Amino acid sequence: MPEGDTVYLAAQRLNTALRGQTIVGSDFRIPRYATVNLSGKVIREVRPAGKHLFFDLGDVSLHTHFKMQGSWHLYRRGERWRKPAYQARVILKTQPWDAVGFDLPVIELVTDPQAVVAHLGPDLLAQDFDLGEAVRRMTLDPDRSLGDCLLDQTVVAGLGNVYKSEVAFLAGLDPRTVVKRVPDVADVLQLARRMIRANRSTGSQITTGDTRRGRQRWVYGRAGSPCLRCGTRIAMERDGTERVTYWCPACQPEL
């Protein structure tokens, strides 16, 4: 699933190209909005909120969520698309650009975008990230695991499986450790914020500082491979959903 930095970068690129432009044509390829025409609306801003993305159009906003497979592409008018047309779910056209949303599982027009994300915890990528509130939310249930809390968007917004595993590794904590045993919750959250912010404009999720293939991440996606720090084989666990956790049994003792 795309994480907050991926959504942030998509919004940044779309906003740079489209902000202030008038929509000259739209095409919703989902039954709910099949007859909607956004022509004449001005794109005031494209912005992220955690893993959510909004096109602010004045009296209405287009809200999308990538979930596992969604993405937004930006093309010059007439440019060939890099994905097949049948995967397009919504198209916004301005004079120079086509913004195409592919395989988006969530597409809705809303009049109150804040209500859509009111349940989210503090956004790790936001300038006004509230560390105190994030700590409060994470410690509400001290018997939850650290990994579960990092993934819970109502605790902090933006993290997914990659950063959950990488943050836990760099904190030296087994992600299954319950929150009440985490020595400093604020330090873990600040680490998560630094990590995701470092990747927000790169299009990659490199946590080791090493761009070589197979060495870009400490544990995520490396099950059975030797730990880059101690050589112990990386462990992996699935919970029956799309959630997967990686950790080094030696570097990350369960407390």
Q: Catalytic amino acids?
A: 2-3, 51
d(CA 148, CA 64): 24
Among the listed residues 100, 72, 94, 76, the one whose alpha carbon sits nearest the alpha carbon of residue 18: 94
Q: Would you call 192 exposed, middle or buried from its count of C-beta atoms within 10 A (0-12, 13-18, 19+)?
A: buried
Q: Contact, 10 vs 125, CB < 8 A?
A: no
Place of tokens 């988006």: 104
Written as one string, the DSSP assignment of 20-71 is TPBP-EEEE-SGGGTT---TT-B--EEEEETTEEEEE-SS-EEEEE-TTT-E
Q: Contact, 84 vs 103, CB < 8 A?
A: no
Q: Contact, 89 vs 103, CB < 8 A?
A: yes
**Residue 197 is inside which H or E element, if any?**
helix 185-198
d(CA 29, CA 87): 9
SS3 content of the chain, % helix, strand, coil (to 5): 25, 25, 50
